[in-house]
Amino acid sequence: MNKDQLAKVAAAMCAPGKGILAADESSGTIKKRFDAIGVESTADSRRDYREMMFRTQDAMTQNISGVILYDETIRQNAADGTPLVKIIEQMGSLPGIKVDAGVKFLPNFPNETITEGLDGLSERMAEYYKIGARFAKWRAVIDIADGIPSRGAILANAQALARYAAICQANDIVPIVEPEVLMDGGHDQARCYEVTEFVLKTLYNELYEAKVFLEGTVLKPNMIVPGKKSAKQVSAEQVAAETVRVFKQTVPVAVPGIAFLSGGQADVEATANLDAINKLGPLPWLVTFSYGRALQAAPQKAWAGKADNVPAAQKAFAHRAKMNGLASKGQWNKGLEG
């Protein structure tokens, strides 16, 4: 394990003003997104869409520290034959790779899931490193509903995340450790806090047991928000206060960076919340974004599958990347949205 390189890459992923573009939608998920804009999902349309983002100069050179890719994309070439990985590198950004194989129901734990993908992972990591990946992502999913989550399911997911992280580091790849507590339910903010606190406590205990080098990791968590169906919604300042409070209880200062998922928040809402969190600084970690939907919703809509729309889509992408870059420094305000 090259600890110096791991620590350098982890810090670069969360450099002030920059964050991560999550473009690692599986073929099933990207089809859903394309259905919504009336575009057929083919290898070429997926390539065209992602190439459009990776060639957005302002965003990629100034605000996007790294891009999480899917297995198909990391092997794909742009329309002119250049590997997409090369384009990302030429922009000064880091290629990353989603390595989990998705969620399956966890036997004996009704309505709870376990993330799979550990078998053969070390060999796959070695190949991804050769292709250019310098970091990876594994997402565990914790749902909140009546009677769930259980301690058993949280522990199983934390153990898998820890084994994944150790395998990453053995291959000189920085693990993004993502224990996502979903915001789909009707629970309130206090319940999100309570579950996230337990999840993070369990996770960092398992990372310790697995001897993971924390300085060479990035945490990708949810914010502390009420469920989407909750009648009690809260302000960005309230999200920020509870989110920072839970991290202070659970995330070691050895962890260099925290990069949030957007999890279904509207795009400007995700920016406002990140900004409010950073306005509470200085914080002991670099705190930024690793957004999928909150970065892509606007450019996806503008693109709509048409080559003529590429400039407008790139403008929309550059704008969201810039807004989130400012939020990573606590320098965003609503007036900048224009």
Q: Please list every residue from 163 through 182 that binds ligand 13P, using CB under 6 A.
A: 178
Question: Is the Cβ of residue 5 or residue 26 nearer to ligand 13P in the bound state?
Answer: 26
Q: Given the structure tokens 């310790």, which residue do they identify?
A: 208
Size of residue set near ligand 13P by CB under 6 A: 10
Question: Is the Cβ of residue 83 or residue 264 nearer to ligand 13P in the bound state?
Answer: 264
Separation CA 21–CA 69 (nearest Å): 9
First to last CA, the chain: 46
**Binding to ligand 13P by residue 95, rule CB under 6 A?**
no
**Binding to ligand 13P by residue 195, rule CB under 6 A?**
no
Q: Given the structure tokens 């450019």, which residue do they identify?
A: 299
Separation CA 62–CA 70 (nearest Å): 23
Catalytic residue among 206, 220, 242, 322: 220
DSSP 62: I
**Antiparallel, parallel or unpaired: β 174-181 and 218-219:** parallel
Question: Is the Cβ of residue 182 or residue 310 nearer to ligand 13P in the bound state?
Answer: 182
**Binding to ligand 13P by residue 320, rule CB under 6 A?**
no
Angle 267-279/236-250 helices, nearest 10 degrees?
60
**Binding to ligand 13P by residue 293, rule CB under 6 A?**
yes
Q: Is the peptide bond before 282 cis (omega within 30 degrees of 0)?
A: yes
Query: Binder to ligand 13P among 139, 187, 320, 322 (CB under 6 A)?
Result: 139
**Binding to ligand 13P by residue 227, rule CB under 6 A?**
no
As given in the structure block, the two tokens for residue 155 are: 């522990």
**Binding to ligand 13P by residue 291, rule CB under 6 A?**
yes
DSSP-derived 3-state class of residue 305: coil
Question: Is the Cβ of residue 140 or residue 282 nearer to ligand 13P in the bound state?
Answer: 140
Q: Please list every residue from 21 through 40 that binds ligand 13P, using CB under 6 A.
A: 22
Q: How far is the CB of 261 from ligand 13P (least distance, A)?
A: 4
As given in the structure block, the two tokens for residue 321 are: 């990347």
Interface residue list for ligand 13P (CB under 6 A)? 22, 139, 178, 261-263, 291-294
